[in-house]
């Protein structure tokens, strides 16, 4: 979940580049159902090489108390640019030497060694390519995504994980893999699994953010239908809602440079009110929808997209939309809302803090509030599901200590679950991970933040500035990209919506309670509207034609949409665009996608 502008910007970076081998603070969610995208298959349907028996944990009935004797070493690699990790370590500590690496060595008999640490994601990918091309040894456990991941899967140098998952994984993690098996498309080959997905929380579904003070000024109610929504756009644009006597406001700010779908300011609520097709022009992997014939088709070329284009064209011609939307990315588009010039913006719940919270800097009365999405003329209402995974943790086929890796993973996974009686739950972590880092004990209480206000002496603060250590980065170590548990924050959200002053008893509840009031309210709007989010049915690797023609087709689709929205071309130009898209590689990609889907249902 997003709790601050800095966290939001880190997540933006992860979304843009596809994969950062760092632990993520993001949540995420892509098309109209979640757990049923592809029928799940058992992780044990095929057998992977057995884990080494050379190192054994000390015998114990308490699974949380495993310690390997003799100690084992697990090698890994990571991107650390020195800035995005923020307050991750105390002075003198690093990814290679910190409280957690020392704790692992002393308490679990696991030594962590970094084969390489680079400062840029592109350097990380280059390293992996060089290791593959030279035949050099891969790290034991590391993050991978995109083209390097596909090269690794094809190389035969990764460990298949089916047997290891069955033998070592936490039972609840096995259920997670089964439930969201469609996220394994990129790492499945011949029925075997070659990577573990790093899940987002799945709580970033679109809500509608509106200037409530503008509604009140104009005597309007929050729109419930698309027709009412259009009227609010008209009133916000034409009737001087900020009462400054100038014609300088618009109804809706949208970033169309990246097409209908992006990470903030997206228009999925608009096309979902008009059609059940999920639409994206900026990435040929998103969105592939399933038709009545059971085959997949690219949503951006479906004839229903004309309904969306006609509506956006009408609004643009009437001045309800930003005239510069076609050249703006999400951050630039949000500046109109933050500066007090736009009254509506769609996006995730975290926007209530940044960027919409900045609107009060220009107008103390500015009041962006979250509302349910509008219903279309035929009763449709919806949103797209953001991709639920953020890359994968993979393992060298020569890795001898997968049992030790899972011993550590299960411990952290159990900490996230916080279920009573869990044999993997480490009681040493009941208050937090490391005292003096992510929490402080003072006067018999566990203090996790606001140390000065709590009266904690300055010499006991984790950091001199009074902040706590952002323990997520320290804990990642050998986990590549660590995982959230999708939708696991919903009960905590409901709890604090019912009683904002309720006591937080778990780490998840602590995290949720720290949300700003508008963020919490927005999460409640998202949950209570009870929308089944439209998802992407293609989760396989980048196909050969996607690699060779993807950029061309992205440009063709995005520019064609903009020409229609801006009135440079008639709506019927869409049919010509579709023919060009299919002729220039789109038909071949459609064939490749459906071949994959037929083999991976």
**Structure tokens given for 549:** 């023609």
Least confident of 79-83, 210-214, 432-436, 553-557: 79-83
- Looking at the structure, tell me whether residues 270 and 304 fall in a common domain: yes
Spatial distance between the Cα atoms of 488 and 415, rounded to a whole number of angstroms: 13
**Residue 525 phi, psi (nearest 5):** -60, -45
- Looking at the structure, tell me whether residues 375 and 413 fall in a common domain: no
Share of the chain above pLDDT 90, in %: 79
Contact call for residues 476 and 510 (beta carbons, < 8 A): no
- Looking at the structure, tell me whether residues 366 and 422 fall in a common domain: no
* pLDDT at position 601: 74
CATH code where residue 321 lies: 3.40.190.10
- Looking at the structure, tell me whether residues 276 and 291 fall in a common domain: yes
CB atoms within 10 A of CB 450: 11
- Looking at the structure, tell me whether residues 101 and 158 fall in a common domain: yes
Domain count, the chain: 2
Classify 271 as helix, strand or coil.
helix
- Looking at the structure, tell me whether residues 178 and 237 fall in a common domain: no
pLDDT tens for 159-209 read 999 999 999 999 999 999 999 998 999 999 998 999 999 999 999 999 999
pLDDT tens for 269-289 read 999 999 999 999 999 999 999
24, part of any domain: no
197, part of any domain: yes
246, part of any domain: yes
Spatial distance between the Cα atoms of 250 and 510, rounded to a whole number of angstroms: 38
Asked if the model's pLDDT at residue 405 lies above 90, the reply is: yes
- Looking at the structure, tell me whether residues 404 and 308 fall in a common domain: no
Least confident of 73-87, 441-455, 489-503: 73-87
- Looking at the structure, tell me whether residues 240 and 350 fall in a common domain: yes
The overall average pLDDT reported for the chain is 89
Last residue of a domain, one of 413, 444, 479: 479
- Looking at the structure, tell me whether residues 236 and 319 fall in a common domain: yes
Q: Where are the beta strands (DSSP E) in 11-153?
A: 56-57, 68-69, 72-79, 110-118, 141-144
21, part of any domain: no
**Structure tokens given for 449:** 């933040």
452, part of any domain: no
183, part of any domain: yes
Asked if the model's pLDDT at residue 31 lies above 70, the reply is: no
Asked if the model's pLDDT at residue 219 lies above 90, the reply is: yes
Last residue of a domain, one of 460, 479, 498: 479
513, part of any domain: no
**Average pLDDT of the segment spanning 86-110:** 92
281, part of any domain: yes
- Looking at the structure, tell me whether residues 552 and 428 fall in a common domain: no
Instruction: State the greatest distance between any 2 C-alpha atoms of the chain, in Å, as a whole number.
Output: 79
Residue ranges making up the domain that contains 356: 207-384+534-599
- Looking at the structure, tell me whether residues 211 and 197 fall in a common domain: no
- Looking at the structure, tell me whether residues 195 and 260 fall in a common domain: no
């Amino acid at each position: 979940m997003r709790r601050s502008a800095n966290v939001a910007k880190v997540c933006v970076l992860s979304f843009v580049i596809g994969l950062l081998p760092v632990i993520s603070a993001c949540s995420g969610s892509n098309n109209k159902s979640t757990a049923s995208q592809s029928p799940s298959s058992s992780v044990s349907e095929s057998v992977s090489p057995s884990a080494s028996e050379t190192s054994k944990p000390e015998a114990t009935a308490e699974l949380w108390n495993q310690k390997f004797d003799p100690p084992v070493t697990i090698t890994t690699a990571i991107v650390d640019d020195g800035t995005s990790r923020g307050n991750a370590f105390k002075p003198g500590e690093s990814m290679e030497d910190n409280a957690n690496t020392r704790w692992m060595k002393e308490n679990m008999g696991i030594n962590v060694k970094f084969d390489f640490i680079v400062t840029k994601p592109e350097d990380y990918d280059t390293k992996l390519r060089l290791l593959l091309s030279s035949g050099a040894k891969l790290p034991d456990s590391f993050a991978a995504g995109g083209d390097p991941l596909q090269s690794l899967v094809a190389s035969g140098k990764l460990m298949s994980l089916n047997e290891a998952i069955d033998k070592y994984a936490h039972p609840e993690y096995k259920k997670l893999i089964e439930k969201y098996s469609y996220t394994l498309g990129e790492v499945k080959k011949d029925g075997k699994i070659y990577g573990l997905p790093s899940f987002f929380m799945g709580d970033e579904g679109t809500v509608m953010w509106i200037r409530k003070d503008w509604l009140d000024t104009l005597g309007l109610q929050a729109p419930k239908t698309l027709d009412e929504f259009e009227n609010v756009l008209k009133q916000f644009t034409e009737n001087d809602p900020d009462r400054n006597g100038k014609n300088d406001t618009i109804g809706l700010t949208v970033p169309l440079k990246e097409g209908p779908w992006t990470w903030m300011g997206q228009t999925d609520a608009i096309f979902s009110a008009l059609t059940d097709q999920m639409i994206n022009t900026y990435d040929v992997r998103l969105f592939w929808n399933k038709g009545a014939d059971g085959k997949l088709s690219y949503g951006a070329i479906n004839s229903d997209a004309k309904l969306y284009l006609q509506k956006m064209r009408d609004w643009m011609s009437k001045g309800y939309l930003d005239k510069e939307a076609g050249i703006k990315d999400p951050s630039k588009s949000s500046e109109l809302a933050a500066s007090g010039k736009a009254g509506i913006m769609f996006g995730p719940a975290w926007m209530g803090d940044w960027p919409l919270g900045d609107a009060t800097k220009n107008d103390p009365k500015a009041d962006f509030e979250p509302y349910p999405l509008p219903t279309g003329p035929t009763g449709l209402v919806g949103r797209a599901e953001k991709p639920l995974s953020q890359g994968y943790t993979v393992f060298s086929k020569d890795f001898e200590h997968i049992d030790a890796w899972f011993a550590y993973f299960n411990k952290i996974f159990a900490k996230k679950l916080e279920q009573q009686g869990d044999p993997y739950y480490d009681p040493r972590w009941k208050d937090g991970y490391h005292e003096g880092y992510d929490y402080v004990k003072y006067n018999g209480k566990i203090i996790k933040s606001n140390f000065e206000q709590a009266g904690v002496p300055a010499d006991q603060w984790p950091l001199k500035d009074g902040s706590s250590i952002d323990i997520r980065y320290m804990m990642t170590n050998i986990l590549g990209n660590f995982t959230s548990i999708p939708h696991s924050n919903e009960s905590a959200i409901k709890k604090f919506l019912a009683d904002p002053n309720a006591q937080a008893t778990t780490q998840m509840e602590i995290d949720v309670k720290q949300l700003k009031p508008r963020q919490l309210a927005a999460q409640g709007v998202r949950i209570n509207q009870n929308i089944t989010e439209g998802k992407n049915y293609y989760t396989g690797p980048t196909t050969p034609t996607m690699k060779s023609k993807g950029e061309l087709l992205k440009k063709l689709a995005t520019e064609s949409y903009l020409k229609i929205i801006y009135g440079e071309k008639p709506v019927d130009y869409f049919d010509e665009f579709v023919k060009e898209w299919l002729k220039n590689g789109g038909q071949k990609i459609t064939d490749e996608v459906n071949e994959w889907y037929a083999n991976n249902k």
